[in-house]
A and B are shown apart, each in its own frame.
Chain A
Amino acid sequence: MATDSVLTHETEQEIWSGGKEPFKASYGKLMMWYFLVSDAFTFAGFLIAYGALRFSVPTWPLPDFVFSSLPFGIHHAPLIFVTIMTFVLILSSVTMVRAVQEGHHGNKNGVVFWMLMTIFGGLAFLGCQAWEWSTLIGVEHMTVTTNPFGAHTKDGVYLENEYGHPYAPGEKAETFTAGHTYLIEKAENPETGKLDWVQRKMKHTDGTESVQQFGPKAFGALFFFITGFHGFHVLSGVVFLLIIMVNVASGLYHNRGNHYEMVEKIGLYWHFVDLVWVFVFLVFYLL
């Protein structure tokens, strides 16, 4: 027994005394893992802030109302566009796995091909995000400080139509129930010719009257900062993928003779970006 423990002690010392890889992973790969741990904590900090702020207000805009537009003028398609974005990212993650596998088999052309596919996936995702952002900013007028997505706290009926005018005789008034999300639209003011918010008047079933209120102020800032931070990760991932793809094509990693380990490292980063999207998708679009 005593000799056993002495032996383990000695071997452990040997493993950790330098010149060897105790985790059987190279310095670069290990440090990529630890960078990803720290990055995971950054994203977790953002998402937990989102959760804490959401818990701190009585109502929150429902994602299946906020994210319900599609390109080509399609509306009322809840969550379909972000689901497509998720598929694009999953696909690019899968092509990255193929690139790493081809690297292990030393197939240079295979690595370049699958990395190129991954880059296309990343660019497609960024394009989708650009469209999503421009719709929210340009069409729905959401900014970092203004959130036009409010929610009803009580049941009731609108006293005005969606342009802020009283209902015409015979026109059926729109009703709503507590918890429903609405969008405060902008319409041209005939006097000034500028776009103004139209906060529709409404009457609740308990007899009180009020106008549409703006939603929780933090929503826009949280959305743009968190999805923007993730999008920036995708963008830098695309840049690094491009650089490493060019290096693969030039034969640099082939000459190193370490089974294209650089491709494996950028692969870890790329999968991490997909991993973060799983949670961004969960908290922003599903819950």
Chain B
Amino acid sequence: MADLDIEAGKKVVFKGLILLGVITIIEVMIALVGNGHIIEGFHLPKLIMYPAMIGFSLYKAYFIVFEFMHMRYEMQGLMRSVLLPTTLLIWAVIAFFQEGSAWKHRREQIKTWNTEQANQKPSTPPAKEIEGAK
């Protein structure tokens, strides 16, 4: 770390700037081309767009942690104690996204039940009951 000379240090900085900038431009281009903003009527399937954008972002994150934050030069114990806990997030993402889809599914189910019930019962008896209560 400390034995990096000035020129080598500047090279790392320049490389980082170009790398992060170019990847960001690629990501934005995927979003714009994929959603049909650049070429009229041309869309990319989400199944290609999303993994590509997630992959590029993860690479940016890796580069920032390992080069800019110097994780590459730290002891293996430090690296493990910082990076291993974050693998718990893989579970969190899977669990909560599944839960979110379950909410959506349940809402749609309730909507279908409600329309079914509304179609089965004629709406007149409850109206009469309300009148009687008055």
Using CB atoms, name the residue of chain B closest to A91.
Answer: B17
Residues 73-86 of chain B, each 1 if its beta carbon lies under 8 Å from chain A, else 0: 01101100110011
A51 at the interface (CB under 8 A from B): yes
Q: Which of A35-57 contact B (CB under 8 A)?
A: 36-37, 40-41, 44-45, 48-49, 51-57
B92 touches A48 (CB 8 A): yes
| Chain B 1-25 interface mask (CB, 8 Å, partner A; 1/0) | 1101010011011001100110011
Q: Mark B32-48, 1 if CB is under 8 A from A, else 0.
A: 10010100000000000
How far does the alpha carbon of A92 sit from the alpha carbon of B101 in the complex, in Å? 38
Contact of A24 with B75 at beta-carbon distance under 8 Å, contacts A33-B82, A94-B16, A101-B9 already known: yes
Query: Which chain B residue lies CB-closest to A33?
Result: B82
Kindly state the separation between the CA atoms of A268 and B69 in the bound complex, as whole angstroms.
6
Which residues on B sit within 8 Å (CB–CB) of A161? none
List, in ascending order, chain A residues with CB within 8 A of B81's CB.
Answer: 23, 34
Residues of B within 8 A of A271 (CB): 64-65, 68-69
The stretch of A79-87, A204-212, A219-227, A230-238 that contacts the partner chain: A79-87
Total number of A residues with any Cβ neighbor in B under 8 Å? 55
A:251-287 near B, CB below 8 Å: 259, 267-268, 271-272, 274-275, 278-279, 281-282, 285-287
**A90 adjacent to B77 (CB under 8 Å):** no
The residue that B100 contacts in the complex, of A54, A58, A86, A259, with Cβ under 8 A, is A54
Output the nearest chain A residue to B84 by Cβ-Cβ distance.
A37
B96: contacting residue among A48, A63, A268, CB under 8 A? A48
Chain B: minimal CB distance from A263 (Å): 13
Q: Is A286 in contact with B27, judged by CB distance below 8 angstroms?
A: yes
Is the beta-carbon distance between B97 and A79 smaller than 8 angstroms? no
Whether the Cβ atoms of A90 and B103 lie closer than 8 Å is no
When distances are taken between beta carbons in the complex, the residues of chain A under 8 Å from B99 are 52
Chain B residues contacting A57 (CB-CB under 8 Å) are 104
Question: What CA separation (Å) do A48 and B91 show in the bound complex?
Answer: 11
A199 within 8 A of B: no
Q: Which among B49-57, B116-124, B126-134 touches the partner chain?
A: B49-57
Check B74 against A23 for contact (C-beta < 8 Å).
Answer: yes
Contact of A287 among B50, B69, B100 (CB under 8 A): B50
The answer to whether A56 touches B101, judged by C-beta atoms less than 8 angstroms apart, is yes
Residues of chain A at the chain B interface (Cβ within 8 Å):
22-25, 30, 33-34, 36-37, 40-41, 44-45, 48-49, 51-58, 62-64, 78-79, 83, 86-87, 90-91, 93-94, 96-98, 101, 104-105, 259, 267-268, 271-272, 274-275, 278-279, 281-282, 285-287
Known: A78-B35, A90-B20. 11 other contacts (CB 8 A): A25-B75, A37-B86, A51-B96, A51-B100, A52-B96, A58-B108, A90-B24, A93-B68, A97-B16, A105-B6, A282-B27
